Amino acid sequence: MKLSALFSGNTFQHGVHPHDYKGLTRHLPIRRLPFAPELILPLSQHAGKASTPLVKPGEEVVRGQPIAVADGFVSVPLHAPATGRVRSLQLMPSARGPKTMSLILQVYQGSSQKELYDHPHDLRQLSADEIIQAVQEAGMVGLGGAAFPTHVKMKPPAEQPVDTIIANGCECEPYLTCDHRLMLEQPDNLIQGLHLMQRALGVERAIIGIEDNKLDAAQLLQDYVSNDPTIAVKVVKTKYPQGAEKMLIKSVLNREVPPGSLPSAVGVSVFNVGTLTQIGELLPHGRGVIERVVTVSGDGVQHPGNYLVPVGTPVEFLLKQAGVVDAAHEVILGGPMMGMSIAALDVPVTKAMSGMVVLKKPEPDTERGKEQPCIRCGYCVEACPMQLNPSMLGMLATSADYTGMQENYHLNDCFECGSCSYVCPSNIPLVQYFRIAKSINRDRQETAQK
Amino acid sequence: MPDLKITTDLRTSPHLKQVVTVPQIMRNVVYALLPVCAYSVFAFGLSVLLLLITTTLTCILTEWLYCRLADKPSSLDDWSIVITGLLLALTLPPGFPLWMAAVAAFVAVGLGKALFGGLGYNVMNPALVGRAFVQAAFPVAITTWTPPFLPGRFQELIPTTLTQPFMIPPDINGWIEQQRVDAFSGATPLALQKFEQIITPLPDLVLGSIAGSAGETSALIIILGGLYLAARKMLDWRIPVAVMAGAIIIALPLWLVDAARYPDPLFVLFSGGLMLGAVFMASDMVASPVTPWGVWIYGLFIGMLTVVIRLFGGLTEGVMYAILLGNAISPLISNMTQPRIFGSRDS
Ligand code: SF4
Ligand code: SF4
């Protein structure tokens, strides 16, 4: 098939076009980084229950060995990212704020760190449920702030049958290129993972959605699956937030997920290409997630790149490796549109982290000018992919009418993509207002229930 | 390994920001208005130049005073006040007494903007509030027109321009008689059409060789300014388009039924203040709806109402009141046209 035939012209309405800065790293192959002397492994790197440790302080562990088991279905185990000795189990700072229980692992510097722990599966023998179980045992979590365990997403509600799997290769956040590199460098793992996913969900049709700024990856995968009638590659417009599940489903299949529903409501399951690649890579060997590709980029970084980083590596170590010099910086975990800037560098890289963007003192591009009253320009209304009215929501937030925001203006359908704040010429921190309003509403609801 | 000495800078997402700010938008509107002003000065002479300066300076001064009194940080740097000043001058007759223009400017900012709490809070377009005030206060002066392209326009002011404060401006019919080169009546195309059924030829309207308010001259320059702003996404193109469509919706059927009594749609579009109002005033961001459907309804409403007032009301020009009314109901329109939430069937 010719590449031009892949274009659908389909996309979602609204959205924004930030400069993507991907040129800094898109051409750089994935490179392995040395091990930090100590790894910090939070028992909870995912939504759901924290895992239960299997090892005690002082114990030696082998790279790849399970060191904590899942506590129930909505939970995942943890594997040792390096051969070494468990120093302690203690509360450590986390990027999300509160301190969390973490295993501290001292890495044996002399060890070759060849992966030793293995537990191969015969893939052809696995049933659907066994695949799902194997995914849980690998400790896989989805990307983004929520870090939902992947295997839970593989069990959509029975009354909502899924007919299509979408592999999300949009990577619409500026700066990030790790998924792009994975698609280029490990297409075999990606397709393998997608096949396993098709089997686990019992779904024939799979579509890989890729933004049109990654045509090389789209072409490569297209060649790869040309003999496979079940998998299609679809190129979608480069636009933020194309990689949001609901937007991508609209762009690829022209189906709209109703407010408050999951993609399975329209018969779709969406998995990130990074997740699928990991499944394809790990499942045959029965290994766990012990490292991941992280894009380190931004103008504060001397050696931007796509690095294969052991889980638990302290952010500070990673920044030093990437050549960040002493200065005032903003360090963002994730992409610049939805990521979170951190106050301290002693937090670890977690399984769900796809990027780290380090920005020098605010450039004009990131400068927050002084906040001014809303001039009702409507830019935010034109930007909101959920087709909300951020202008109105913002005005209600200023007058502290949080109930009205929720009841009349669909506050809860806002997924905090940041498009509205991005365009607002009055520099109103709309998303921040909405986050606050949501948490106040949540608190109120909880107190009302008591 | 020595520890990194990084001072971190905490901000909330998104960490990128599109670099379009309110002052930038407003400045560009001023750029788009400048050719209109320049052409108006070219057509009507020094009097209009003084008029523009008077209104703009008075607006700035009033805003400055307001910020001082209300103890607010100066809002002069957002440029919106300059727009108000220029627009106001463009809606006035070229020979409008300067002292009255200053009153109009003071009312525009004081009543139309400051009273509501400044930029962003005003319900109506401030320039039009000022203009509406002087329409009521000085009914004669506001309808005293002078023809364009008088030979002496760069040497001599229109006699009414320098009327002493609180004095009635002199009658200028005699002066116009004396000045004019051809048989120019001094009446606006709208008045000619309404009272004498004389239709001014379209090229005159497009190029602006007609009597009228300072800014009612060249539709062409106004449209070019509008296109510039629309291309930079600093003007919602749907509003002028909707206003014009609204005007045509009313004008076309009437003209088809009785072409002798009713003007043709092109005349309706290009005469009077419709073009200036549609492009630069109805589209005022602050006083127009934000919702996609609301914008269309708002524009259509203004266009239709303008023509209805012109054809069936006592006034020759209705665009000002139509826009003010449109401004007044725009919160209501916004409310009734909330966008359909992604994925939902109803709004
Ligand atoms: S973008 Fe900002 S200024 Fe414009 S309408 Fe939205 S909130 Fe108001
Ligand atoms: S942050 Fe919420 S309101 Fe703003 S554009 Fe995104 S979904 Fe819409």
**pLDDT mean over B156-161:** 78
Between the CA of A420 and the centroid of ligand 2 the distance, in Å, is 6
Q: Which of A239, A240, A417 to mutate to test the pocket of ligand 2 (most atoms within 8 A of CB)?
A: A417
Task: For strands B7-8 and A328-333, give the pairing.
Answer: parallel
CA angle at A389 for the pair A383 and A393, rounded to the nearest 5°: 120
Cα-based distances in Å from A207 to A194, A231, A234, A261, B78: 10, 6, 7, 21, 49
At B218 the pLDDT is 78
> Are residues B15 and A320, on separate chains, in Cβ contact within 8 Å?
no
Q: Which residue of B has its CA nearest to A380?
A: B290
Q: Which atom, in ligand 1's list, is nearest to the CA of A381? A: 6
Query: Where a domain ends, among A252, A285, A318?
Result: A285
- B340 chain-A contacts, CB cut-off 8 A: 387
- In this structure, the residues whose C-beta lies within 6 A of any atom of ligand 2 are A 383-384, 386, 388, 390, 414-420, 430-431, 434
* Contact residues for B139 (Cβ-Cβ < 8 A; gap 6+): none
Q: Is residue B136 part of a domain?
A: yes
**pLDDT mean over A384-404:** 92
Give the total number of structural domains in chain A.
Answer: 2
Is the C-beta atom of B22 inside 6 A of ligand 1?
no
Q: Is residue B6 part of a domain?
A: no
Give the total number of structural domains in chain B.
Answer: 1
Are the beta carbons of B328 and B122 closer than 8 angstroms?
Answer: no
Q: Which of A370, A371, A428, A434 to mutate to test the pocket of ligand 1 (most atoms within 8 A of CB)?
A: A428
CA angle at A233 for the pair A227 and A238, rounded to the nearest 5°: 160
Q: Which amino acid is at B130?
A: G
Is the C-beta atom of A377 inside 6 A of ligand 1?
yes
Cα-based distances in Å from A409 to A443, A444, B298: 19, 18, 21
Q: Is residue B135 part of a domain?
A: yes
> Are residues B10 and A376, on separate chains, in Cβ contact within 8 Å?
no
Query: From the list A341, A369, A382, which residue is nearest B11 (CB)?
Result: A341
Q: Is the pLDDT of residue A3 over 70?
A: no
What is the spatial distance between Cα A267 and Cα B256, in angstroms, rounded to a whole number?
Answer: 54
At A369 the pLDDT is 67
At B177 the pLDDT is 67
What is the spatial distance between Cα B117 and Cα A249, in angstroms, rounded to a whole number?
Answer: 44
Both tokens of B157, joined, read: 């002011």
Cα A111 versus chain centre, distance: 31
Task: Give yes or no: residues A281 and A135 share one domain.
Answer: yes
Least distant ligand from the CA of A390 = 2
Both tokens of B230, joined, read: 């629309």
Q: What is the DSSP letter of A124?
A: G
Is the C-beta atom of A372 inside 6 A of ligand 1?
no
Q: Is residue B151 part of a domain?
A: yes
Q: Is the ipTM of this complex over 0.90?
A: no
Q: What are phi and psi of B305, to 5 degrees?
A: -65, -40
Q: Which residue of A has its CA nearest to B235?
A: A377
Least distant ligand from the CA of A415 = 2
Q: Which of A172, A409, A415 to mutate to test the pocket of ligand 2 (most atoms within 8 A of CB)?
A: A415
B207: domain CATH number is 1.10.3430
Query: Where a domain ends, among A255, A285, A315?
Result: A285
At A362 the pLDDT is 60
A and B: number of Cβ contacts within 8 A: 183
Mutate to test the interface with B, among A21, A377, A421 (most CBs of B within 10 A): A377
Between the CA of A367 and the centroid of ligand 2 the distance, in Å, is 20
Task: Give yes or no: residues A133 and A273 share one domain.
Answer: yes
Give A366's pLDDT tier (boundaries 50, 70, 90): very low
Q: What is the DSSP letter of A33?
A: P
Are the beta carbons of A231 and A191 closer than 8 angstroms?
Answer: yes
Burial (CB count <10 Å: 0-12, 13-18, 19+), residue A340: middle
Q: What are phi and psi of A55, to 5 degrees?
A: -120, 160
Both tokens of A181, joined, read: 């590199």
Between the CA of A380 and the centroid of ligand 2 the distance, in Å, is 8
Q: Is residue B321 part of a domain?
A: yes
> Are residues A376 and B292, on separate chains, in Cβ contact within 8 Å?
no
Q: Which residue of B has its CA nearest to A366?
A: B16
What is the spatial distance between Cα A301 and Cα A286, in angstroms, rounded to a whole number?
Answer: 36
What is the spatial distance between Cα B184 and Cα B149, in angstroms, rounded to a whole number?
Answer: 11
Cα-based distances in Å from A107 to A62, A72, B148: 10, 29, 88
Q: What is the pLDDT of residues A314-365, one digit of tens each?
A: 999 999 899 887 666 788 998 999 988 888 888 999 998 989 999 886 655 4
Task: Give yes or no: residues A409 and A265 share one domain.
Answer: no
Is the C-beta atom of B286 inside 6 A of ligand 1?
no
* Contact residues for A443 (Cβ-Cβ < 8 A; gap 6+): none
Select, from the ranges A137-146, B46-55, B217-226, B266-275, the one with the highest average predicted confidence (pLDDT): B46-55
Between the CA of A428 and the centroid of ligand 1 the distance, in Å, is 7
Nearest CA to ligand 1 atom 8: A374
Task: Give yes or no: residues A274 and A384 share one domain.
Answer: no
Nearest CA to ligand 1 atom 4: A377
Q: Is the pLDDT of residue B183 over 60?
A: no
Q: Is residue B3 part of a domain?
A: no
Short-list B292, B321, B341, B327, CA closest to B125 = B327
Give B208's pLDDT tier (boundaries 50, 70, 90): low
Give B259-271 as a DSSP string. Answer: TTTS--HHHHHHS
Task: Give yes or no: residues A273 and A400 share one domain.
Answer: no
- A174 chain-B contacts, CB cut-off 8 A: 16
Find the domain containing B204 and state its range.
22-334
**pLDDT mean over B226-251:** 93
* Contact residues for A200 (Cβ-Cβ < 8 A; gap 6+): A128, A131, A132, A135, A154
At B265 the pLDDT is 87
* Contact residues for A223 (Cβ-Cβ < 8 A; gap 6+): none
Are the beta carbons of B112 and B121 closer than 8 angstroms?
Answer: no
> Are residues A327 and B119, on separate chains, in Cβ contact within 8 Å?
no
- As a whole number, the mean pLDDT across chain B is 84
Is the C-beta atom of A431 inside 6 A of ligand 1?
no
Q: Which residue of B has its CA nearest to A342?
A: B10
Both tokens of A47, joined, read: 């939504």
Q: What is the pLDDT of residues A271-328, one digit of tens each?
A: 999 999 999 999 999 899 999 999 999 988 999 999 999 999 999 999 989 988 766 6
Query: Whats the size of chain A, residue-wise?
Result: 450
Q: Which residue of A has its CA nearest to B78?
A: A372
Both tokens of B105, joined, read: 């400017």
Short-list B275, B271, B272, B262, CA closest to B202 = B271
- A427 chain-B contacts, CB cut-off 8 A: 17, 21
Q: What is the pLDDT of residues A416-439, one digit of tens each?
A: 999 999 999 988 999 999 999 999
Both tokens of B61, joined, read: 């001064």
With tokens 């009543």, the residue in question is B111
Is the C-beta atom of A374 inside 6 A of ligand 1?
yes
* Contact residues for A76 (Cβ-Cβ < 8 A; gap 6+): A46, A48, A51, A70, A136, A139, A140, A141, A149, A151
What is the spatial distance between Cα B215 and Cα B272, in angstroms, rounded to a whole number?
Answer: 9
Cα-based distances in Å from A265 to A198, A269, A417, B237: 18, 9, 22, 38
Q: Is residue B126 part of a domain?
A: yes
A14: domain CATH number is 3.40.50.11540
Task: Give yes or no: residues A152 and A17 share one domain.
Answer: yes
- As a whole number, the mean pLDDT across chain A is 89
* Contact residues for B57 (Cβ-Cβ < 8 A; gap 6+): B85
Least distant ligand from the CA of A337 = 2
> Are residues B24 and A330, on separate chains, in Cβ contact within 8 Å?
no
Task: For strands A268-272 and A164-169, give the pairing.
Answer: parallel
Query: Where a domain ends, among A228, A262, A285?
Result: A285
What is the spatial distance between Cα A388 and Cα A380, in angstroms, rounded to a whole number?
Answer: 9
Q: Is residue A53 part of a domain?
A: no
Q: What is the pLDDT of residues A178-201, one digit of tens each?
A: 999 999 999 999 999 999 999 999
Give B252's pLDDT tier (boundaries 50, 70, 90): very high
Find the domain containing A423 and state its range.
379-449
Between the CA of A382 and the centroid of ligand 1 the distance, in Å, is 10
Is the C-beta atom of A347 inside 6 A of ligand 1?
no
What is the spatial distance between Cα A410 and Cα A244, in angstroms, rounded to a whole number?
Answer: 18
Helix (H) or strand (E) holding A221: helix A215-224
Distance from CA of B310 to the nearest CA of A (A): 30
* Contact residues for B137 (Cβ-Cβ < 8 A; gap 6+): B100, B103
**pLDDT mean over A82-101:** 88
What is the spatial distance between Cα A50 and Cα A47, in angstroms, rounded to a whole number?
Answer: 8
Q: What radius of gyration do chain B's Cα atoms show?
A: 22
Q: Is residue A62 part of a domain?
A: no
With tokens 């610049």, the residue in question is A336
* Contact residues for B54 (Cβ-Cβ < 8 A; gap 6+): B89, B98, B101, B102, B105
Give B185's pLDDT tier (boundaries 50, 70, 90): low
Are the beta carbons of B6 and A412 closer than 8 angstroms?
Answer: no
At B156 the pLDDT is 77
Task: Give yes or no: residues A392 and A247 share one domain.
Answer: no
Residue ranges of alpha helices (H) inside A85-186 are: 128-137, 150-153, 178-185
Query: From the list B16, B19, B118, which residue is nearest A174 (CB)?
Result: B16
Give B77's pLDDT tier (boundaries 50, 70, 90): confident
Is the C-beta atom of A375 inside 6 A of ligand 1?
yes
Q: What are phi and psi of A38, to 5 degrees?
A: -140, 135
Q: Is residue A413 part of a domain?
A: yes
Nearest CA to ligand 2 atom 8: A384
Between the CA of A434 and the centroid of ligand 1 the distance, in Å, is 14
Q: Which residue of A has its CA nearest to B334?
A: A392
What is the spatial distance between Cα B289 and Cα B283, in angstroms, rounded to a whole number?
Answer: 9
Short-list A296, A316, A298, A315, CA closest to A306 = A296
What is the spatial distance between Cα A236 and Cα A171, in angstroms, rounded to a whole number?
Answer: 11
What is the spatial distance between Cα B80 and Cα B77, in angstroms, rounded to a whole number?
Answer: 8
Q: What is the pLDDT of residues B6-64, one digit of tens each?
A: 666 677 788 888 878 888 899 999 999 999 999 999 888 888 999 999 999 999 999 99
Q: Is the pLDDT of residue B2 over 80?
A: no
Q: What are phi and psi of A393, to 5 degrees?
A: -60, -40
> Are residues B120 and A375, on separate chains, in Cβ contact within 8 Å?
yes
Q: What are phi and psi of A375, to 5 degrees?
A: -100, 10
Q: Is the pLDDT of residue B72 over 70?
A: yes
At B278 the pLDDT is 93
Both tokens of A48, joined, read: 């759901």
Distance from CA of B112 to the nearest CA of A (A): 15
Q: What is the pLDDT of residues B101-147, one digit of tens each?
A: 999 999 999 888 888 877 778 888 999 999 999 988 988 888 888 87
Q: Which atom, in ligand 2's list, is nearest to the CA of A387? A: 8
For the beta carbon of residue A323, count every other beta carbon within 10 angstroms. 14
Cα-based distances in Å from B275 to B36, B293, B301: 12, 22, 15
Distance from CA of B25 to the nearest CA of A (A): 8
* Contact residues for A370 (Cβ-Cβ < 8 A; gap 6+): A427
- B12 chain-A contacts, CB cut-off 8 A: 341, 429, 431-432, 435
Distance from CA of A64 to the nearest CA of B (A): 27
- A419 chain-B contacts, CB cut-off 8 A: 14
With tokens 């896989």, the residue in question is A140
Going across the sheet that includes A268-272, the strands are: A231-236, A205-211, A164-169, A268-272
Q: What percent of chain A has pLDDT over 90?
A: 64
CA angle at A33 for the pair A27 and A39, rounded to the nearest 5°: 140
